[in-house]
């Protein structure tokens, strides 16, 4: 397990966190994807107190989803055995500012967004289904980056898996292990 060092927390970088809460839903998704991680989030600060994604609005209800700050939902407190891998993506100042602005817009208009459950059908049949104001986690991260000039994949955001980020040369792995242990060092 590689431990993150405080001095590695950058000024202009985006952190991508892949996670596995171990829930029944996560295990069911894994049956289809055969991947260790089936959830992904984006973090804009080195303190990891703002972890953005599309997922459960309430930690104890997997059926109501939308744009979330996972620090607010306390998902990692409820599922304290969550494992994760954290990746760092270096970006220039303008890109960072643009991504930050995109996240601000998501936060301000949070009630307009919903979870793109129908998008999973497109994912399964390898045909992207884009819906207005609806995302699933990896679609949100990929599209937000792409919309702001960071194109990492040669496929539409609706077909990007969280595990695709692990294979991306632009990413640097900085931590793998339990989220609770990571939270203690940041």
At a CB cut-off of 8 Å and minimum separation 6, what does 65 contact? 54, 55, 56, 57, 114, 115, 117
Helix 137-147 × helix 93-108 angle, to 10°: 130
Contact indicator for 35, 63 with CB cutoff of 8 Å: no
Question: Residue 76's pLDDT is what?
Answer: 87
Tell me the C-alpha distance between 98 and 43, whole Å.
Answer: 14
Instruction: Find tokens 């995109």 and name the residue.
Output: 102
Contact indicator for 160, 153 with CB cutoff of 8 Å: yes
Question: Residue 77's pLDDT is what?
Answer: 87
Tell me the C-alpha distance between 38 and 27, whole Å.
Answer: 9
Contact indicator for 106, 67 with CB cutoff of 8 Å: yes
Mean pLDDT of 94-122: 94
Mean pLDDT of 143-160: 97
Mean pLDDT of 102-122: 92
Task: Tell me which range, 27-31, 91-95, 115-119, is most confidently predicted by mean pLDDT.
Answer: 91-95
Instruction: Find tokens 């990413």 and name the residue.
Output: 171
Question: Residue 2's pLDDT is what?
Answer: 41
Task: Tell me which range, 66-80, 106-120, 145-159, is most confidently predicted by mean pLDDT.
Answer: 145-159
Question: Residue 8's pLDDT is what?
Answer: 43
Give residue-wise pLDDT tens across range 52-83: 999 988 887 877 889 999 988 888 888 999 99
Domains of the chain, each with CATH number or no CATH: 6-185 (3.90.1720.10)
Question: Residue 11's pLDDT is what?
Answer: 62
Where does the chain show beta strands of DSSP type E? 13-20, 39-43, 51-58, 61-69, 83-90, 114-115, 134-135, 171-178
């Amino acid at each position: 397990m590689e431990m993150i060092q405080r001095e590695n927390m950058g000024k202009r970088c985006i952190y991508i966190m892949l996670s596995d809460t171990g829930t029944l839903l996560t295990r069911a998704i894994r049956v289809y994807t055969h991947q260790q991680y089936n959830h992904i989030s984006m973090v804009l600060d080195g303190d990891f107190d703002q972890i953005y994604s599309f997922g459960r609005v309430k930690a104890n209800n997997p059926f109501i989803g939308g744009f979330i700050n996972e620090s607010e939902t306390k998902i990692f407190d409820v599922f304290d055995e969550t494992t994760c891998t954290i990746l760092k993506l270096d970006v220039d100042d303008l890109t960072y500012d643009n991504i930050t602005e995109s996240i601000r817009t998501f936060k301000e208009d949070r009630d307009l967004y919903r979870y793109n459950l129908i998008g999973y059908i497109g994912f399964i049949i390898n045909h992207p289904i884009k819906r207005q104001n609806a995302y699933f986690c990896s679609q949100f991260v990929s599209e937000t980056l792409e919309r702001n000039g960071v194109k990492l994949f040669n496929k539409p955001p609706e077909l990007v898996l969280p595990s695709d980020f692990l294979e991306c040369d632009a990413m640097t792995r900085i931590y793998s292990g339990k989220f609770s242990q990571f939270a203690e060092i940041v």
